[in-house]
Amino acid sequence: MDVQIPPGLTELMQDFTVAALRERPNDIVDFAADYFVKLRESKKQYDGGAKPKGVQFSGGQDSDESSGEEPEPPKNRYARRQSVCAEAYNPDESDDEDEKLVVHPKSDVQRKRLNEAVGNILLFKNLDNEQLNNVLDAMFERKTTADEHIIDQGDDGDNFYVIDRGIFDIYVKIDGSDKKVGAYNN
């Protein structure tokens, strides 16, 4: 019996397995059902015809880019990086307990919006409630104006931005000049 594994199945099952190992659910069947339903809903939302939210990159070539070269094929979205190295860290030896936590007051509405905005960001998914609350407490609101540069390429990234609403253009320096490569619509 010759069985061929469908494209993407291995990566899909690996992602599910990692999620299950992280969450450690009491009922694996319910967890699996919820996991795949949410995955299907996010795929429908991504594939749907509604006005897209999120990052949209420019699709066509500009007239000054028509060099006749074939565009590079998209990388496999399931591809994993080879390895990551970092200095050993022991949280028990951390001096962080002596540091005072930064707290910027927020209304219940602001806190709810922040919770919703960071809920699907990988960076925040594995935080417990206390850790998430500490991070949200440290965040502060920053209003922007039209044509304001939020982050310039090459500058130090000293803040983490959560965009509540608006459309933001994405520019990259190419040959010394800024070129619009996409837009973020939220």
Statement: the pTM of the whole predicted model exceeds 0.85: no
State phi, psi for 122 to the nearest 5 degrees.
Answer: -55, -40
Domains present along the chain, CATH in parentheses: 9-45 (1.20.890.10), 103-141 (no CATH), 142-185 (no CATH)
Q: What is the pLDDT of residues 70-129, one digit of tens each?
A: 556 555 555 555 566 677 777 777 665 667 888 999 999 999 988 888 888 888 888 999
Q: What is the pLDDT of residues 19-75, one digit of tens each?
A: 889 889 999 999 999 999 988 888 777 666 555 566 666 655 454 445 555 556 555
Query: Would you state the structure tokens that stand for residue 185, as one six-digit string?
Result: 């619509």
C-alpha–C-alpha distance, residues 160 and 107, integer Å: 20
Average pLDDT, the chain: 79
C-beta separation of 185 from 56 below 8 A: yes
pLDDT at 159 over 80: yes
Element (H, E) at 148: none
Question: HSE-up of 44 (CA within 13 Å, CB side)?
Answer: 6
pLDDT at 81: 56
pLDDT at 63: 46
Q: How far is CA 14 from CA 118, 162, 166, 179, in A?
A: 24, 29, 35, 38
pLDDT above 90 covers a percentage of the chain that reads: 16
